[in-house]
Every structure is written in structure tokens, then in C-alpha cells.
């Protein structure tokens, strides 16, 4: 009888402990969602660390929520990180937020968002990326050109060719590479012009590589 009582008490205590453990997990999960929805994703990540420490398991839905939520975060670094993650994952669900962030005041958010557009493959973003070709920041213009080279077709070759006149030789170089990547022979006259007229060695070399690619077709 005594053994039975001890066993019963132990079972009740274990059951109570499990219930408490489950409640703790549920509370943390809810807190993660609330923080992410409120745009406090850095804190949401801290809470997720607690959750993983307790369970030693990953919650894919919560990770996904934090990734998407970071694109709407007030912190520029979180937006930038979200854009990089969306690009690496090819996350099409992130496209609405990415399109908005192409106009963000933070230059690095614009840079990495532009890069991610090419990774995700959002052709609807082409007009916004073309607008960024006139951005005052060199890195932003370069990022936009890189993505346009991945997304574009022959119709945007004249727009990209305008960047062959950019004051920054790195921009001109990337424009020459993008024209080759699009793969349409209508870009050849533009590349020939930069090959002859550009003073920068790297821009001319990029023109050579793209001409070789297009003429070899």
C-alpha cells in the first residue's frame, strides 16, 4: 500500500511538471509571435533561443514568421537580414515586403533587397529595379544591375545600357556583365562602344567577356 501511494504521488508530480513544461513552451511560442507581429524580431529571436533550449527542436513555422517579420522590422539590420534570408531561400511569400523595401531610406536595405529580387526571381520588380539605376548610392545601382541581369530580357537592354555611362567604373563594369548575361545580341553595339571608349580597364574587360559570350552563340 505504501509503495502504491509513493508511486501515485510521483506520477502526479511528474504529470504536473509536464503540464507546467507544456505551458511554458506555449507561452514562449505565443510571445515569439507577438514580438514578431509587433516588429520586434530581435527580441523574438532571443525568445526562440529559449524555446530551442527547452525543447531541443526547431519550429519551422516560427522561424518562417521571424524571417518574414524581419522584413517589416523598424531596425534596418533586421530588414537587411530578412532580405538576405528571403533571397537565399527563394521565398516568394516575402515579395510584397521586398518590393516595399526597395524604397527604404536605408541604403543597405535597398542594396540587399535589390540583390534578393534577382535571387527570388521577381520579374514584377523590374520597374522598381530600373528606377534604382538612378539611385544616388553606387552600391544600390550595382545591386539593381546585377538583379536586372538575372531577371531581364531584351526589352530592358537600352535601360541597362544607360548605366554604361555611369560616373562609377564599377557600375559600368557590372552593366557590361549584365548585358552579356541577358544573352541578347542587341546588346552588342553598346558593348562595342564601351570597349572602344571607356577608360577603365575592368569595364573594358567586362565588355570583352560579354561580347565573347554573345558572339559565340
pLDDT at 215: 95
The answer on pLDDT for 15 being more than 70 is no
Q: pLDDT exceeding 90 applies to what percent of the chain?
A: 75
d(CA 153, CA 26): 49
pLDDT beyond 50 at 9: no
The structural domains of the chain, ordered by start, are 23-70 (no CATH), 153-217 (1.25.10.10)
Tell me what pLDDT residue 152 has: 83
- All residues at 6 or more sequence positions from 23 whose CB lies less than 8 Å from its CB, including other chains: none
Provide the pLDDT for residue 23: 58
Residues 108 and 116: their CA atoms lie apart, in Å, by 12
Give yes or no for residue 6 having a pLDDT over 70. no
Over residues 114-128, the pLDDT tens digits come to 999 999 999 999 999
How much is the pLDDT for 3?
A: 55
Cβ 196 vs Cβ 208: under 8 Å: no
Between CA 150 and CA 138 the distance in angstroms is 19
Q: Is the pLDDT of residue 155 over 70?
A: yes
Q: Whole-angstrom Cα distance, residue 174 to residue 138? A: 11
User: pLDDT confidence of 39, banded at 50, 70, 90?
Assistant: confident
Do residues 166 and 188 touch, judged by C-beta distance below 8 A?
A: no
Whose cell is 501511494? That residue is 5
Torsion angle defined by CA atoms of residues 168, 172, 175 and 176, in that order, rounded to the nearest 10 degrees: -160
What is the distance between the alpha carbons of residues 88 and 107, in angstroms, rounded to a whole number? 20
> Could you tell me if 147 and 115 are in contact, meaning their C-beta atoms sit under 8 angstroms apart?
yes
176, three cell numbers: 557590361
pLDDT above 90 (res 185): yes
User: 143 pLDDT exceeds 80?
Assistant: yes
- Looking at the predicted structure, is the pLDDT value of residue 45 above 80? yes
Cα 46 vs. chain centroid, distance in angstroms? 22
What nine digits make up the cell of 95? 515579395
Cα torsion through 98, 100, 103, 104, rounded to 10? -80
Amino acid at each position: 500500500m505504501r509503495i502504491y501511494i509513493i508511486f501515485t504521488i510521483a506520477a502526479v508530480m511528474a504529470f504536473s511538471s509536464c503540464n507546467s513544461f507544456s505551458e511554458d513552451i506555449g507561452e514562449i511560442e505565443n510571445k515569439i509571435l507577438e514580438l514578431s507581429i509587433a516588429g520586434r524580431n530581435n527580441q523574438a529571436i532571443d525568445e526562440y533561443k529559449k524555446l530551442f533550449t527547452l525543447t531541443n527542436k526547431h519550429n519551422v513555422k516560427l522561424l518562417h514568421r521571424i524571417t518574414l517579420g524581419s522584413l517589416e522590422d523598424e531596425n534596418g539590420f533586421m530588414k537587411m537580414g530578412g532580405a538576405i534570408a528571403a533571397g537565399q531561400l527563394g521565398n516568394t511569400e516575402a515579395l510584397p515586403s521586398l518590393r516595399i523595401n526597395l524604397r527604404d531610406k536605408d541604403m543597405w536595405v535597398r542594396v540587399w533587397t535589390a540583390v534578393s529580387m534577382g535571387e527570388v526571381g521577381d520579374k514584377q520588380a523590374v520597374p522598381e529595379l530600373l528606377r534604382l539605376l538612378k539611385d544616388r548610392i553606387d552600391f544600390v545601382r550595382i545591386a539593381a544591375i546585377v538583379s536586372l541581369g538575372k531577371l531581364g530580357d531584351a526589352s530592358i537592354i537600352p535601360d541597362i545600357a544607360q548605366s554604361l555611362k555611369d560616373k562609377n567604373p564599377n557600375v559600368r563594369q557590372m552593366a557590361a556583365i549584365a548585358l552579356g548575361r541577358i544573352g541578347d545580341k542587341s546588346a552588342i553595339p553598346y558593348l562595342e562602344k564601351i570597349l572602344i571608349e571607356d577608360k577603365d580597364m575592368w569595364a573594358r574587360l567586362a565588355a570583352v567577356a560579354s561580347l565573347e559570350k554573345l558572339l559565340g552563340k
